[in-house]
Each structure stands twice: as C-alpha cells, then as structure tokens.
Amino acid sequence: MSEIVILGLTLKGGGVYTEQYTAYRGDRPIGCLRLRNGCFTAAYQHTQDNSDPQIEVYSSCTVGDSRFDEDEREMELTKAVIELINAESIANYVERRAGA
C-alpha cells in the first residue's frame, strides 16, 4: 500500500486500482479519490459511518486513462486535496453553527 502526504492529509492507495486513494485526516477517512477511464474525481465523506452520502468536490479529465501521466499526478492530487480540505472546513463550520 502506498502513502502520500499532501497538505496534512494522508492518501493511502493500492489494491485493485492503481490510482485510487482514501484520504485521511489522522485516523479518520474524509474522502475518496479515483481515476477511471480518464476521469479523476474526489468525493468528501463527512461521517465515518457512511450515513451521509459522499459529495463529489473535484473532477477533471486526465491524459492518462487508468494511470496519471507523471506530469499530472502531483498537480491533480493536490487540487483534489485542496477541495477535500475546503469541504471539510465548510462541513465543520456548518456543524458548529448548528450546535450554537
């Protein structure tokens, strides 16, 4: 299993699909990133128990079909992580406001 750390999130990948990662904040999974058929997506998951649906926060078309070209991996993963962090910040803000 491979691990990549970008902007404080740990991306753990491996398994059947080369370009599929789970994003973690500490031990808590917060999203899924995957590249399939030239379409890269990142989805945010607010709850650990999967009671909320995942929300797609980033998508792009890539040069690589099932794998990133070396020129695009770092850029695409970083863009996706930024959007996961934004979604996490918004969700935490809304949660705090609802409890206030």
User: Per-residue pLDDT tens for 2-58?
Assistant: 899 999 999 999 767 788 999 999 999 999 999 998 999 999 987 766 666 789 999
pTM of the full structure: 0.88
Q: What is the model's pLDDT at position 59?
A: 97
Give long-range contacts, CB 8 A cutoff, 24+ apart: 3-11.
4/77, 6/77, 6/78, 6/81, 7/78, 7/81, 7/82, 7/85, 8/85, 9/81, 9/84, 9/85, 11/77, 11/81
Domain that holds residue 59: 2-99
pLDDT at 100 over 60: no
pLDDT at 49 (0 to 100)? 64
Are the beta carbons of 7 and 77 closer than 8 angstroms? no
**pLDDT value for 51:** 62
Q: Does pLDDT of 73 surpass 70?
A: yes
Number of domains in the chain: 1
